[in-house]
Chains A and B, each alone.
Chain A
């Protein structure tokens, strides 16, 4: 099937700046979306999720925005810290059939 955000781009930000990681999803029937963070040598770690009946959800220093019209998801990280350096994945639930992951974005935080 189609994939979410197939490539692994890199986003480089200065410590203290805000980061925005974008993701395009494929299935308009998907109703649940998750952002994961993966550090080197570890498994993906849940950051925040959002259901399709919402367009914004906030956590601690993170905000997820969902635009169903253009099938776009973004993760905003406020005041980015060196510990935020990792690969970030978005995932969609493909109408409840399975959790499909995007290709990931590498975030590099410069001190």
Chain B
């Protein structure tokens, strides 16, 4: 009955590899997000999708590509992984895309690139 679930929880991989993180929400929300949290706990938005359409793409390298097959899913694919990609990635969802309602977060995917 987890509201926002993302897999895997931990991901360890080598530089240059391609990996994906999956996210699903069962809250019936129409907007989903990906946030990146660095080692200093700073949370920064990467992408926002509303009804399967991209509405925010914040200065993220094009190695990162979000894919939203439907309103309940927003996956993140990363090509040619770099050391600097190591971080915790959080998926979130909210009702409405105007940032006037709370975001509900998953428990994160800790990505370590070696």
By a beta-carbon cutoff of 8 Å, the part of chain A in contact with chain B is 3, 6, 8, 31-32, 34, 36, 38, 41-46, 49, 51, 87, 89, 93-94, 96-101, 103-104
B103 in contact (CB, < 8 A): yes
Contact (Cβ within 8 A) A87 B103: no
Interface SS of B by simple majority = loop
A49 adjacent to B107 (CB under 8 Å): no
- B contact residues, range: 20 to 34
Contact pattern, B 88-106, Cβ under 8 Å of A = 1, otherwise 0: 0010100000111011111
CA distance A31 to B16 in the complex (A): 42
Q: Can you name the residue of chain B whose Cβ is closest to the Cβ of A1?
A: B58
- CB of A101 within 8 A of CB of B99, answer no
Chain B residues in contact with chain A, CB under 8 A? 4, 40-45, 48, 56, 58, 90, 92, 98-100, 102-108
Please determine whether B107 and A101 come into contact, CB atoms closer than 8 angstroms. Answer: no
**Least CB distance, A67 to chain B, in whole angstroms:** 20
